[in-house]
Amino acid sequence: MRAEHEVAHLLARSWDKVALLGINSWQVRTLRAIKDCRTVALGGHVDSCNSCGHVQISYNSCRNRHCPKCQGHKRVQWIEARESELLPVPYFHVVFTLPDELNTLALHKPEIVYDALFKSAWETVEAFTGKDNKAGMISILHTWGQNLSLHPHIHCIIPGGFVDRNGMWKLSKAEGKFLFLSRR
């Protein structure tokens, strides 16, 4: 079932105003790809059924990683694949964000900045579980925010516990909404 309203429809109706937003060329390219996705603008092909003779034109997709039409199913597939790897414990979603002041550095030295962001996130989790305990997490780097502006951050899925130095599973001491309680 197709949605009644799509981002592409909004972009098509307001395209003349997009240039007035003061966005950069890669943001314009991304928005144009979303606007043109599965339309005549990207070309297409003819599908036909050998049995009944039904003919249908299918327009090409933009395959842009930001496009909701192209990438939504990949997100669902990724989530389903990760679910098979989960332990039967509670999980927490934690986000580590790069300060805005470092965005320019991230553009010019992404490998150094993003490696440091991952390392900082991991060291923070380790600091809460203790050096002798083994924690784990799944981490995903996102470099752009929902408004397509530079916003480097890491989404982490962290199990609500850890393996202690004796190899035993320990639930985090916090109950409810918090992964860890303050040690004050």
pLDDT computed for residue 98 by the predictor: 92
Other residues' Cβ atoms within 10 Å of the Cβ of residue 14: 12
pLDDT computed for residue 25 by the predictor: 83
What number of CA atoms fall less than 13 Å from residue 64's CA on the CB side?
Answer: 21
Q: Kindly tell me if the per-residue pLDDT of 76 is higher than 70.
A: yes
- Domains of the chain, by residue range, sit at 7-59, 86-171
pLDDT, mean of residues 73-88: 78
Asked if 34 and 64 touch (Cβ cutoff 8 Å), the reply is yes
* pLDDT level of residue 182 (50, 70, 90 thresholds): low
* pLDDT level of residue 146 (50, 70, 90 thresholds): low
What are the tokens at 13? 């109706």
Q: Residue 100: which of 152, 142, 26 has the closest Cα?
A: 152
3-state secondary structure of 122: helix
pLDDT computed for residue 26 by the predictor: 81
pLDDT, mean of residues 142-148: 75
Contacts of 115-120 with C-beta under 8 Å, sequence gap 24+, read 117/141, 117/152, 117/154, 118/154, 120/96
Distance CA 174, CA 128 (A): 12
Distance CA 21, CA 14 (A): 11
Q: Model confidence over 14-48: pLDDT tens digits?
A: 898 887 788 888 888 889 999 999 999 999 989 88
Give φ, ψ of 62 to 5 degrees: -80, -25
pLDDT, mean of residues 145-155: 81
